[in-house]
Structure 1
Protein backbone atom coordinates (compact mmCIF):
# COMPACT_ATOMS: atom_id res chain seq x y z
CA UNK A 1 0.00 0.00 0.00
CA UNK A 2 1.41 3.41 -0.95
CA UNK A 3 1.60 5.68 2.09
CA UNK A 4 -0.25 9.01 1.96
CA UNK A 5 2.74 11.04 3.09
CA UNK A 6 2.11 14.58 1.91
CA UNK A 7 5.17 15.82 3.80
CA UNK A 8 7.66 13.62 1.97
CA UNK A 9 10.51 16.05 1.35
CA UNK A 10 11.79 13.99 -1.59
CA UNK A 11 8.55 14.74 -3.42
CA UNK A 12 8.78 18.51 -3.09
CA UNK A 13 10.74 21.25 -4.71
CA UNK A 14 11.38 24.69 -3.21
CA UNK A 15 8.37 26.18 -1.41
CA UNK A 16 7.85 28.87 -4.04
CA UNK A 17 4.18 28.30 -4.82
CA UNK A 18 5.08 28.27 -8.52
CA UNK A 19 3.74 25.82 -11.07
CA UNK A 20 6.11 23.32 -12.71
CA UNK A 21 4.47 21.54 -15.63
CA UNK A 22 1.05 20.46 -14.32
CA UNK A 23 2.12 20.63 -10.66
CA UNK A 24 1.98 23.31 -8.02
CA UNK A 25 5.03 23.17 -5.81
CA UNK A 26 4.78 24.48 -2.29
CA UNK A 27 1.07 23.69 -2.07
CA UNK A 28 1.53 21.23 0.78
CA UNK A 29 0.39 18.32 -1.45
CA UNK A 30 3.03 15.74 -2.35
CA UNK A 31 4.07 15.84 -5.99
CA UNK A 32 3.42 12.12 -6.52
CA UNK A 33 -0.16 12.69 -5.36
CA UNK A 34 -0.60 15.62 -7.73
CA UNK A 35 0.73 13.51 -10.62
CA UNK A 36 -1.66 10.68 -9.75
CA UNK A 37 -4.59 13.10 -9.60
CA UNK A 38 -3.64 14.70 -12.92
CA UNK A 39 -3.37 11.36 -14.72
CA UNK A 40 -6.58 10.12 -13.10
CA UNK A 41 -8.42 13.20 -14.34
CA UNK A 42 -7.12 12.55 -17.86
CA UNK A 43 -8.36 8.95 -17.67
CA UNK A 44 -11.78 9.86 -16.27
CA UNK A 45 -12.27 12.60 -18.87
CA UNK A 46 -11.53 10.20 -21.71
CA UNK A 47 -8.36 11.99 -22.76
CA UNK A 48 -6.64 8.68 -22.07
CA UNK A 49 -9.19 6.03 -23.14
CA UNK A 50 -9.31 2.42 -22.01
CA UNK A 51 -6.46 0.46 -23.55
CA UNK A 52 -4.31 3.54 -24.17
CA UNK A 53 -0.63 3.23 -23.33
CA UNK A 54 0.76 5.74 -20.86
CA UNK A 55 4.08 7.47 -21.60
CA UNK A 56 7.08 5.71 -20.11
CA UNK A 57 8.39 6.82 -16.71
CA UNK A 58 11.16 8.93 -18.23
CA UNK A 59 8.67 10.88 -20.35
CA UNK A 60 6.34 11.47 -17.43
CA UNK A 61 9.26 12.54 -15.25
CA UNK A 62 10.26 15.09 -17.89
CA UNK A 63 6.68 16.33 -18.26
CA UNK A 64 6.22 16.93 -14.55
CA UNK A 65 9.81 17.96 -13.76
CA UNK A 66 10.34 15.23 -11.14
CA UNK A 67 12.46 12.12 -10.76
CA UNK A 68 11.33 8.67 -11.89
CA UNK A 69 10.85 7.49 -8.30
CA UNK A 70 8.13 10.11 -7.85
CA UNK A 71 6.44 9.05 -11.10
CA UNK A 72 6.65 5.39 -10.09
CA UNK A 73 4.93 6.20 -6.81
CA UNK A 74 2.11 7.99 -8.62
CA UNK A 75 1.63 5.06 -11.00
CA UNK A 76 1.50 2.73 -8.00
CA UNK A 77 -1.47 4.70 -6.67
CA UNK A 78 -3.29 4.45 -10.01
CA UNK A 79 -2.59 0.71 -10.11
CA UNK A 80 -4.05 0.25 -6.63
CA UNK A 81 -7.16 2.14 -7.71
CA UNK A 82 -7.58 -0.19 -10.68
CA UNK A 83 -7.15 2.58 -13.24
CA UNK A 84 -3.97 1.36 -14.93
CA UNK A 85 -2.13 -1.91 -15.29
CA UNK A 86 1.55 -2.53 -16.00
CA UNK A 87 2.28 -5.40 -18.39
CA UNK A 88 5.91 -6.56 -18.35
CA UNK A 89 7.59 -5.89 -21.66
CA UNK A 90 4.68 -3.80 -22.99
CA UNK A 91 4.27 -0.83 -20.67
CA UNK A 92 1.53 0.69 -18.52
CA UNK A 93 -1.98 0.90 -19.96
CA UNK A 94 -5.28 2.42 -18.97
CA UNK A 95 -7.16 -0.58 -17.71
CA UNK A 96 -9.91 -2.01 -19.89
CA UNK A 97 -13.20 -2.90 -18.20
CA UNK A 98 -13.46 -6.64 -17.53
CA UNK A 99 -14.25 -8.69 -20.61
CA UNK A 100 -17.85 -9.91 -20.37
CA UNK A 101 -17.52 -13.65 -20.95
CA UNK A 102 -20.83 -15.53 -21.25
CA UNK A 103 -20.66 -19.27 -20.67
CA UNK A 104 -23.45 -21.24 -22.28
CA UNK A 105 -24.09 -24.16 -24.63
CA UNK A 106 -22.08 -22.43 -27.37
CA UNK A 107 -19.00 -20.75 -25.91
CA UNK A 108 -16.48 -19.41 -28.45
CA UNK A 109 -13.65 -17.14 -27.34
CA UNK A 110 -13.31 -15.29 -30.66
CA UNK A 111 -17.03 -14.55 -30.91
CA UNK A 112 -17.18 -13.36 -27.31
CA UNK A 113 -14.21 -11.00 -27.72
CA UNK A 114 -15.55 -9.59 -30.99
CA UNK A 115 -18.92 -8.98 -29.34
CA UNK A 116 -17.06 -6.87 -26.76
CA UNK A 117 -15.63 -4.73 -29.56
CA UNK A 118 -12.14 -6.07 -29.10
CA UNK A 119 -9.75 -8.04 -31.31
CA UNK A 120 -9.30 -11.74 -30.41
CA UNK A 121 -6.16 -13.76 -30.94
CA UNK A 122 -5.45 -17.39 -30.15
CA UNK A 123 -1.82 -18.37 -29.78
CA UNK A 124 -0.57 -21.92 -30.26
CA UNK A 125 2.01 -22.75 -27.58
CA UNK A 126 2.67 -26.43 -28.32
CA UNK A 127 1.18 -29.90 -28.59
CA UNK A 128 1.91 -33.47 -27.70
CA UNK A 129 0.44 -36.92 -28.25
CA UNK A 130 0.34 -38.65 -24.87
CA UNK A 131 -1.34 -41.39 -22.89
CA UNK A 132 -4.64 -40.47 -21.28
CA UNK A 133 -4.41 -40.00 -17.54
CA UNK A 134 -7.32 -41.18 -15.36
CA UNK A 135 -8.80 -37.66 -15.35
CA UNK A 136 -8.56 -37.22 -19.12
CA UNK A 137 -9.84 -40.74 -19.80
CA UNK A 138 -12.87 -40.21 -17.56
CA UNK A 139 -13.81 -36.90 -19.18
CA UNK A 140 -13.41 -38.16 -22.76
CA UNK A 141 -14.93 -41.61 -22.21
CA UNK A 142 -11.65 -43.40 -22.92
CA UNK A 143 -9.53 -46.02 -21.25
CA UNK A 144 -6.49 -44.99 -19.23
CA UNK A 145 -3.49 -45.04 -21.56
CA UNK A 146 -5.42 -44.36 -24.78
CA UNK A 147 -3.70 -41.88 -27.07
CA UNK A 148 -4.86 -38.28 -26.75
CA UNK A 149 -3.69 -35.04 -28.34
CA UNK A 150 -2.91 -32.22 -25.92
CA UNK A 151 -2.83 -28.66 -27.29
CA UNK A 152 -1.48 -25.80 -25.17
CA UNK A 153 -2.78 -22.32 -25.99
CA UNK A 154 -3.20 -18.79 -24.75
CA UNK A 155 -5.81 -16.22 -25.75
CA UNK A 156 -5.63 -12.43 -25.97
CA UNK A 157 -8.02 -9.53 -26.46
CA UNK A 158 -6.47 -6.46 -28.09
CA UNK A 159 -3.07 -7.95 -27.33
CA UNK A 160 -3.80 -8.30 -23.60
CA UNK A 161 -3.44 -11.89 -22.31
CA UNK A 162 -6.76 -13.22 -20.99
CA UNK A 163 -6.21 -16.94 -20.51
CA UNK A 164 -3.87 -19.85 -21.01
CA UNK A 165 -4.46 -23.56 -20.74
CA UNK A 166 -4.54 -27.01 -22.28
CA UNK A 167 -7.13 -29.08 -24.14
CA UNK A 168 -7.17 -32.82 -24.71
CA UNK A 169 -8.72 -34.52 -27.77
CA UNK A 170 -9.15 -38.14 -28.86
CA UNK A 171 -6.10 -38.58 -31.07
CA UNK A 172 -7.65 -41.01 -33.56
CA UNK A 173 -10.36 -38.45 -34.30
CA UNK A 174 -8.32 -35.26 -34.26
CA UNK A 175 -5.01 -36.07 -35.93
CA UNK A 176 -3.29 -32.93 -37.26
CA UNK A 177 -5.70 -30.69 -35.32
CA UNK A 178 -2.70 -29.04 -33.68
CA UNK A 179 -1.10 -28.21 -37.03
CA UNK A 180 -4.32 -26.71 -38.37
CA UNK A 181 -4.90 -24.71 -35.19
CA UNK A 182 -1.34 -23.39 -35.29
CA UNK A 183 -1.98 -22.15 -38.83
CA UNK A 184 -5.44 -20.66 -38.27
CA UNK A 185 -5.45 -19.58 -34.62
CA UNK A 186 -9.06 -20.79 -34.41
CA UNK A 187 -10.17 -24.05 -32.86
CA UNK A 188 -13.58 -23.80 -34.52
CA UNK A 189 -12.05 -23.50 -37.99
CA UNK A 190 -9.53 -26.23 -37.28
CA UNK A 191 -12.24 -28.68 -36.17
CA UNK A 192 -14.36 -27.76 -39.18
CA UNK A 193 -11.46 -28.68 -41.44
CA UNK A 194 -11.56 -32.15 -39.89
CA UNK A 195 -15.29 -32.45 -40.54
CA UNK A 196 -16.44 -31.52 -37.03
CA UNK A 197 -18.72 -28.65 -38.00
CA UNK A 198 -20.12 -27.80 -34.59
CA UNK A 199 -19.80 -28.60 -30.91
CA UNK A 200 -21.36 -27.43 -27.66
CA UNK A 201 -20.45 -27.00 -24.04
CA UNK A 202 -21.71 -29.85 -21.88
CA UNK A 203 -20.25 -28.72 -18.57
CA UNK A 204 -18.12 -25.97 -17.05
CA UNK A 205 -16.52 -26.06 -13.60
CA UNK A 206 -15.08 -22.91 -12.08
CA UNK A 207 -12.49 -22.54 -9.34
CA UNK A 208 -9.90 -19.98 -8.27
CA UNK A 209 -6.37 -19.87 -6.91
CA UNK A 210 -3.15 -17.85 -6.95
CA UNK A 211 -1.39 -17.94 -10.33
CA UNK A 212 1.66 -20.19 -10.59
CA UNK A 213 4.97 -19.16 -12.13
CA UNK A 214 4.15 -20.31 -15.67
CA UNK A 215 0.78 -18.55 -15.61
CA UNK A 216 2.36 -15.34 -14.35
CA UNK A 217 4.83 -15.43 -17.24
CA UNK A 218 2.24 -16.20 -19.96
CA UNK A 219 -0.43 -13.84 -18.64
CA UNK A 220 1.97 -11.03 -17.72
CA UNK A 221 0.78 -10.69 -14.13
CA UNK A 222 2.76 -10.13 -10.91
CA UNK A 223 3.14 -12.60 -8.08
CA UNK A 224 0.11 -12.90 -5.85
CA UNK A 225 -2.49 -12.30 -8.57
CA UNK A 226 -5.45 -14.67 -8.79
CA UNK A 227 -6.68 -16.72 -11.72
CA UNK A 228 -10.06 -18.32 -12.31
CA UNK A 229 -9.62 -21.92 -13.40
CA UNK A 230 -12.25 -23.22 -15.83
CA UNK A 231 -12.55 -26.91 -16.62
CA UNK A 232 -14.81 -27.64 -19.56
CA UNK A 233 -16.23 -30.60 -21.44
CA UNK A 234 -17.33 -30.07 -25.05
CA UNK A 235 -19.28 -32.61 -27.08
CA UNK A 236 -20.11 -32.88 -30.77
CA UNK A 237 -23.66 -32.63 -32.15
CA UNK A 238 -24.18 -36.34 -31.41
CA UNK A 239 -23.24 -35.81 -27.75
CA UNK A 240 -19.90 -37.64 -28.02
CA UNK A 241 -17.13 -36.07 -25.89
CA UNK A 242 -14.86 -34.00 -28.12
CA UNK A 243 -12.49 -32.18 -25.80
CA UNK A 244 -11.71 -31.70 -22.16
CA UNK A 245 -9.85 -28.56 -21.24
CA UNK A 246 -8.51 -26.55 -18.34
CA UNK A 247 -7.92 -22.80 -18.72
CA UNK A 248 -6.70 -20.12 -16.33
CA UNK A 249 -8.24 -16.65 -16.76
CA UNK A 250 -6.82 -13.48 -15.17
CA UNK A 251 -9.45 -12.87 -12.50
CA UNK A 252 -9.77 -9.10 -12.84
CA UNK A 253 -9.68 -9.05 -16.64
CA UNK A 254 -12.73 -11.23 -17.19
CA UNK A 255 -16.30 -11.20 -15.88
CA UNK A 256 -17.86 -14.64 -16.22
CA UNK A 257 -21.56 -14.70 -17.03
CA UNK A 258 -23.39 -18.01 -16.69
CA UNK A 259 -26.00 -18.46 -19.41
CA UNK A 260 -28.82 -21.05 -19.13
Structure 2
Protein backbone atom coordinates (compact mmCIF):
# COMPACT_ATOMS: atom_id res chain seq x y z
CA UNK A 1 0.00 0.00 0.00
CA UNK A 2 1.39 3.36 -1.02
CA UNK A 3 2.00 5.72 1.84
CA UNK A 4 1.67 9.37 0.77
CA UNK A 5 1.56 12.00 3.49
CA UNK A 6 -1.24 11.01 5.82
CA UNK A 7 -0.35 13.18 8.80
CA UNK A 8 -3.46 13.76 10.87
CA UNK A 9 -4.26 17.28 12.04
CA UNK A 10 -4.32 16.61 15.77
CA UNK A 11 -5.23 20.16 16.78
CA UNK A 12 -7.76 20.86 14.04
CA UNK A 13 -10.81 20.31 16.24
CA UNK A 14 -11.83 17.33 14.08
CA UNK A 15 -11.60 13.92 15.78
CA UNK A 16 -8.80 11.71 14.49
CA UNK A 17 -11.19 8.84 13.77
CA UNK A 18 -13.33 11.17 11.65
CA UNK A 19 -10.32 12.39 9.67
CA UNK A 20 -9.29 8.78 9.06
CA UNK A 21 -12.83 7.78 8.03
CA UNK A 22 -12.88 10.65 5.53
CA UNK A 23 -9.48 9.65 4.14
CA UNK A 24 -10.39 5.96 3.87
CA UNK A 25 -13.54 6.95 1.98
CA UNK A 26 -11.52 9.10 -0.44
CA UNK A 27 -8.82 6.45 -0.86
CA UNK A 28 -11.44 3.83 -1.74
CA UNK A 29 -13.02 6.11 -4.35
CA UNK A 30 -9.59 6.92 -5.83
CA UNK A 31 -8.50 3.27 -5.87
CA UNK A 32 -5.73 3.56 -3.29
CA UNK A 33 -7.44 1.27 -0.76
CA UNK A 34 -9.57 -1.83 -1.17
CA UNK A 35 -8.78 -2.28 -4.86
CA UNK A 36 -9.19 -6.04 -4.41
CA UNK A 37 -12.32 -5.56 -2.28
CA UNK A 38 -10.50 -5.98 1.03
CA UNK A 39 -8.96 -3.40 3.34
CA UNK A 40 -5.49 -3.93 4.85
CA UNK A 41 -5.37 -5.11 8.51
CA UNK A 42 -5.96 -2.57 11.28
CA UNK A 43 -2.27 -2.66 12.24
CA UNK A 44 -1.26 -1.74 8.69
CA UNK A 45 -3.82 1.07 8.56
CA UNK A 46 -2.69 2.35 11.97
CA UNK A 47 0.89 2.58 10.73
CA UNK A 48 -0.30 4.14 7.47
CA UNK A 49 -2.11 6.96 9.29
CA UNK A 50 0.27 7.24 12.24
CA UNK A 51 -2.35 6.44 14.92
CA UNK A 52 -3.22 3.56 17.23
CA UNK A 53 -5.48 0.63 16.32
CA UNK A 54 -8.30 1.89 18.53
CA UNK A 55 -8.58 5.07 16.44
CA UNK A 56 -8.59 3.09 13.20
CA UNK A 57 -11.22 0.75 14.66
CA UNK A 58 -13.48 3.74 15.39
CA UNK A 59 -13.15 4.99 11.82
CA UNK A 60 -13.93 1.57 10.39
CA UNK A 61 -16.96 1.17 12.67
CA UNK A 62 -18.35 4.49 11.41
CA UNK A 63 -17.90 3.46 7.77
CA UNK A 64 -19.51 0.08 8.44
CA UNK A 65 -22.50 1.87 9.96
CA UNK A 66 -22.66 4.13 6.91
CA UNK A 67 -22.55 1.17 4.54
CA UNK A 68 -19.21 1.97 2.91
CA UNK A 69 -17.48 -1.05 4.51
CA UNK A 70 -18.53 -4.53 5.59
CA UNK A 71 -16.85 -6.34 8.50
CA UNK A 72 -16.80 -10.15 8.44
CA UNK A 73 -15.84 -12.00 11.62
CA UNK A 74 -12.55 -13.83 11.17
CA UNK A 75 -12.09 -12.64 7.58
CA UNK A 76 -11.49 -8.90 7.73
CA UNK A 77 -13.03 -5.70 6.45
CA UNK A 78 -14.30 -5.36 2.91
CA UNK A 79 -15.47 -2.54 0.67
CA UNK A 80 -19.23 -2.80 0.37
CA UNK A 81 -19.83 -3.20 -3.33
CA UNK A 82 -23.49 -2.23 -3.38
CA UNK A 83 -24.37 -0.58 -6.66
CA UNK A 84 -25.41 3.04 -6.36
CA UNK A 85 -28.97 3.80 -7.31
CA UNK A 86 -29.51 6.06 -10.30
CA UNK A 87 -32.14 8.71 -9.58
CA UNK A 88 -33.47 10.40 -12.73
CA UNK A 89 -34.26 14.11 -12.64
CA UNK A 90 -36.43 15.26 -15.49
CA UNK A 91 -39.77 16.79 -16.34
CA UNK A 92 -41.69 14.21 -14.28
CA UNK A 93 -39.47 13.42 -11.31
CA UNK A 94 -41.03 10.90 -8.91
CA UNK A 95 -39.15 9.04 -6.17
CA UNK A 96 -41.05 5.76 -6.41
CA UNK A 97 -41.24 5.67 -10.20
CA UNK A 98 -37.62 6.72 -10.63
CA UNK A 99 -36.34 3.76 -8.60
CA UNK A 100 -38.99 1.24 -9.68
CA UNK A 101 -36.57 -1.09 -11.49
CA UNK A 102 -33.79 -0.70 -8.89
CA UNK A 103 -35.51 -1.28 -5.56
CA UNK A 104 -38.47 -3.45 -4.65
CA UNK A 105 -39.62 -1.41 -1.65
CA UNK A 106 -39.72 2.37 -1.97
CA UNK A 107 -41.36 4.52 0.67
CA UNK A 108 -41.24 7.88 2.39
CA UNK A 109 -41.55 8.75 6.08
CA UNK A 110 -42.61 12.03 7.67
CA UNK A 111 -40.01 13.24 10.18
CA UNK A 112 -41.52 16.58 11.17
CA UNK A 113 -43.91 19.24 9.90
CA UNK A 114 -45.19 22.67 10.83
CA UNK A 115 -46.90 25.74 9.42
CA UNK A 116 -44.72 28.82 9.16
CA UNK A 117 -44.39 32.16 7.41
CA UNK A 118 -42.70 31.86 4.04
CA UNK A 119 -39.26 33.42 3.86
CA UNK A 120 -38.31 35.42 0.76
CA UNK A 121 -36.81 32.47 -1.11
CA UNK A 122 -39.78 30.19 -0.45
CA UNK A 123 -42.37 32.86 -1.29
CA UNK A 124 -40.65 33.59 -4.60
CA UNK A 125 -40.35 29.88 -5.48
CA UNK A 126 -44.04 29.25 -4.79
CA UNK A 127 -45.19 32.60 -6.28
CA UNK A 128 -46.79 33.60 -2.97
CA UNK A 129 -47.08 36.90 -1.12
CA UNK A 130 -44.25 37.68 1.29
CA UNK A 131 -46.52 37.15 4.32
CA UNK A 132 -48.05 33.88 3.07
CA UNK A 133 -48.25 30.82 5.29
CA UNK A 134 -46.64 27.61 4.10
CA UNK A 135 -46.50 24.01 5.30
CA UNK A 136 -42.98 22.75 5.88
CA UNK A 137 -42.38 18.99 5.76
CA UNK A 138 -39.18 17.14 6.62
CA UNK A 139 -39.14 13.63 5.16
CA UNK A 140 -36.79 10.73 4.54
CA UNK A 141 -37.13 8.29 1.63
CA UNK A 142 -35.96 4.67 1.72
CA UNK A 143 -35.18 2.09 -0.93
CA UNK A 144 -35.25 -1.52 0.28
CA UNK A 145 -34.89 -0.32 3.86
CA UNK A 146 -31.88 1.95 3.24
CA UNK A 147 -32.37 5.70 3.64
CA UNK A 148 -31.28 7.36 0.41
CA UNK A 149 -32.60 10.91 0.64
CA UNK A 150 -33.79 13.49 3.14
CA UNK A 151 -35.95 16.39 1.99
CA UNK A 152 -37.41 19.64 3.24
CA UNK A 153 -40.47 20.71 1.24
CA UNK A 154 -42.79 23.69 1.38
CA UNK A 155 -46.41 23.93 0.18
CA UNK A 156 -49.02 26.71 0.08
CA UNK A 157 -50.87 26.31 3.41
CA UNK A 158 -54.15 27.64 1.97
CA UNK A 159 -54.25 25.34 -1.05
CA UNK A 160 -52.82 22.28 0.70
CA UNK A 161 -54.15 22.51 4.26
CA UNK A 162 -53.44 19.24 6.11
CA UNK A 163 -50.96 18.07 3.47
CA UNK A 164 -48.49 16.67 6.01
CA UNK A 165 -51.13 14.40 7.57
CA UNK A 166 -52.14 13.17 4.12
CA UNK A 167 -48.51 12.44 3.28
CA UNK A 168 -48.06 10.58 6.57
CA UNK A 169 -51.01 8.37 5.64
CA UNK A 170 -49.97 7.66 2.04
CA UNK A 171 -46.16 7.89 2.22
CA UNK A 172 -46.03 9.59 -1.20
CA UNK A 173 -46.12 13.22 -2.32
CA UNK A 174 -47.62 12.17 -5.65
CA UNK A 175 -50.50 10.30 -3.99
CA UNK A 176 -51.03 13.15 -1.54
CA UNK A 177 -51.30 15.66 -4.39
CA UNK A 178 -54.04 13.54 -5.95
CA UNK A 179 -56.12 13.95 -2.80
CA UNK A 180 -56.03 17.70 -3.52
CA UNK A 181 -57.05 17.33 -7.14
CA UNK A 182 -53.54 17.57 -8.62
CA UNK A 183 -53.50 14.53 -10.89
CA UNK A 184 -50.14 15.36 -12.44
CA UNK A 185 -47.25 17.78 -11.93
CA UNK A 186 -43.96 18.69 -13.55
CA UNK A 187 -40.47 19.78 -12.58
CA UNK A 188 -39.92 23.39 -13.62
CA UNK A 189 -36.38 23.82 -12.27
CA UNK A 190 -33.62 21.89 -10.49
CA UNK A 191 -30.33 23.18 -9.11
CA UNK A 192 -27.82 20.48 -8.10
CA UNK A 193 -24.78 20.93 -5.84
CA UNK A 194 -22.81 18.94 -3.24
CA UNK A 195 -21.72 19.54 0.34
CA UNK A 196 -20.87 17.74 3.58
CA UNK A 197 -23.84 16.25 5.38
CA UNK A 198 -25.13 18.29 8.32
CA UNK A 199 -26.13 16.79 11.66
CA UNK A 200 -29.70 16.10 10.55
CA UNK A 201 -28.52 14.35 7.40
CA UNK A 202 -26.02 12.26 9.37
CA UNK A 203 -28.73 11.04 11.74
CA UNK A 204 -31.58 10.43 9.32
CA UNK A 205 -29.50 9.01 6.46
CA UNK A 206 -27.32 7.01 8.88
CA UNK A 207 -24.08 8.53 7.59
CA UNK A 208 -20.76 9.03 9.31
CA UNK A 209 -19.27 12.52 9.79
CA UNK A 210 -17.57 13.76 6.64
CA UNK A 211 -20.03 12.08 4.29
CA UNK A 212 -21.04 13.96 1.15
CA UNK A 213 -24.63 14.63 0.10
CA UNK A 214 -25.89 15.71 -3.31
CA UNK A 215 -28.34 18.60 -2.94
CA UNK A 216 -31.19 19.16 -5.40
CA UNK A 217 -33.22 22.36 -5.00
CA UNK A 218 -36.36 22.11 -7.10
CA UNK A 219 -39.74 23.61 -7.91
CA UNK A 220 -42.68 21.48 -9.08
CA UNK A 221 -45.67 22.97 -10.87
CA UNK A 222 -49.18 21.75 -11.71
CA UNK A 223 -50.42 21.36 -15.32
CA UNK A 224 -51.44 25.04 -15.32
CA UNK A 225 -47.89 26.05 -14.41
CA UNK A 226 -48.69 27.09 -10.83
CA UNK A 227 -45.90 26.23 -8.34
CA UNK A 228 -47.08 23.60 -5.86
CA UNK A 229 -43.88 22.41 -4.16
CA UNK A 230 -40.51 23.94 -3.33
CA UNK A 231 -38.04 21.36 -2.06
CA UNK A 232 -34.44 20.84 -1.04
CA UNK A 233 -33.50 17.15 -1.20
CA UNK A 234 -30.22 15.71 0.11
CA UNK A 235 -29.10 12.41 -1.41
CA UNK A 236 -26.42 10.19 0.16
CA UNK A 237 -23.68 10.41 -2.48
CA UNK A 238 -22.33 6.95 -1.65
CA UNK A 239 -25.75 5.44 -2.41
CA UNK A 240 -27.26 7.57 -5.16
CA UNK A 241 -26.16 9.20 -8.38
CA UNK A 242 -28.32 11.80 -10.10
CA UNK A 243 -29.11 11.50 -13.80
CA UNK A 244 -30.41 14.75 -15.26
CA UNK A 245 -32.51 14.34 -18.42
CA UNK A 246 -34.11 16.91 -20.68
Q: Distance in 2 between matches of 1:201 and 1:252?
A: 25
**What is aligned with 1:98?**
84
Match of 2:161 among 159, 175, 189: 175
The 5 A counterparts of 1:49-64 are: none
Paired position in structure 2 for 1:84: 69
User: Which of 135, 141, 147 pairs up with 1:149?
Assistant: 135
Q: CA RMSD in A?
A: 3.2
Partner of 2:99, secondary structure, is helix
Write out aligned runs for 1:102-251 (5 A): 102-251=88-237
Structure 1 unaligned runs (5+)? 4-35, 41-67, 87-91
Cα deviation code 1:85-138 (max 9, x no counterpart): 58xxxxx99442110111100010011122214321101112111101000001
Aligned-partner Cα distance in 1 for 2:146–2:2: 26
Stretches of structure 2 lacking an aligned partner (at least 5 in a row): 4-33, 39-52, 72-77
Q: Distance in 2 between matches of 1:38 and 1:132?
A: 51
Taking the aligned partners of 2:114 and 2:70, their CA distance within structure 1 comes to: 34
8 Å contact kept, 2:218–2:230: yes
Q: Structure 1: how far apart are the matches of 2:196 and 2:80? A: 24
TM-score, reference length from structure 1: 0.66
Tell me the alpha carbon deviations over residues 205-236 of structure 1, each in whole angstroms, 9 at most, x when there is no partner. Answer: 01111111111111111111111111000000
Contact persistence 1:121–1:185 (CA under 8 A): yes
Structure 1 stretches of 4+ with a deviation exceeding 6 A read: 36-39
* In 1: Cα distance, 2:151 partner to 2:2 partner: 34
1:131-177 Cα offsets, whole Å, 9 max, x none, are: 01000001011111201111110111111111112110111110111
Is residue 113–residue 119 contact of structure 1 (8 Å, CA) maintained in 2?
no
| Contact 2:37/2:79 (8 A) holds in 1 | no
2:12 aligned residue: none
Contact in 1 for aligned 2:103/2:143 (Cα 8 Å): no
Larger RCO: 1 or 2 (CA < 8 Å, sep 6+): 2
What is the aligned partner in structure 2 of residue 50 from structure 1? Answer: none
- TM-score (norm: length of structure 2): 0.70
